[in-house]
């Protein structure tokens, strides 16, 4: 597969280099959930280079956002159309990202009524520990 996105290619190269060297990476976006779980370890791999909303269909209630997109940007874009994220993800600071929201799986008080963040993910494109890009569900790249 040919990768045309320089930011994604940089992450692929970093993951492959770390894998070859047997080095540990600390995958992080805004770092707002660093307190949650084990203490972060390894060389920082900053996912905020993959930012932005790729597509948004307000009438279909479907938005595609990259992992480094700030939650504030996503929520502001939705609010322009009178929409919101129904599961109310906690921010824990101004740097909260879409990737952190999905990775941590934390939802707000309305989770019991509307479901968790992962109930709303229709597809995902992932970079695994071998530096391979994998796509599941949603629209193809």
pLDDT tens-digit map of 23-81: 999 999 999 999 988 888 999 999 999 999 999 999 999 999 999 999 999 999 999 99
* Domains defined along the chain, listed by start: 6-137 (3.30.465.10)
pTM above 0.85, yes or no: yes
Which position has the token pair 């949603």? 138
Q: For residue 97, what are the contacts with CB-CB under 8 A and spacing of at least 6?
A: 29, 30, 32, 47, 48, 67, 68, 69, 70, 71
pLDDT at 140: 53
């Amino acid at each position: 597969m040919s990768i045309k996105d320089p930011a994604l290619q940089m992450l692929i190269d970093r993951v492959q280099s770390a894998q070859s060297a047997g080095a540990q990476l600390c995958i992080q976006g805004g770092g707002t959930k660093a307190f949650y779980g084990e203490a972060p370890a390894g060389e920082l791999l900053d996912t905020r280079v993959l930012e932005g909303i790729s597509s948004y269909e307000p009438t279909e209630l479907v938005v595609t956002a990259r992992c480094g997109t700030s939650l504030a940007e996503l929520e502001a874009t939705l609010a322009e159309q009178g929409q919101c994220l129904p599961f109310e993800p906690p921010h824990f600071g101004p740097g909260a990202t879409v990737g952190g929201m999905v990775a941590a799986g934390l939802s707000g008080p309305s989770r019991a009524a509307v479901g968790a963040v992962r109930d709303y993910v229709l597809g995902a494109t992932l970079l695994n520990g071998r530096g391979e890009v994998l796509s599941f569900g949603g629209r193809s790249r």
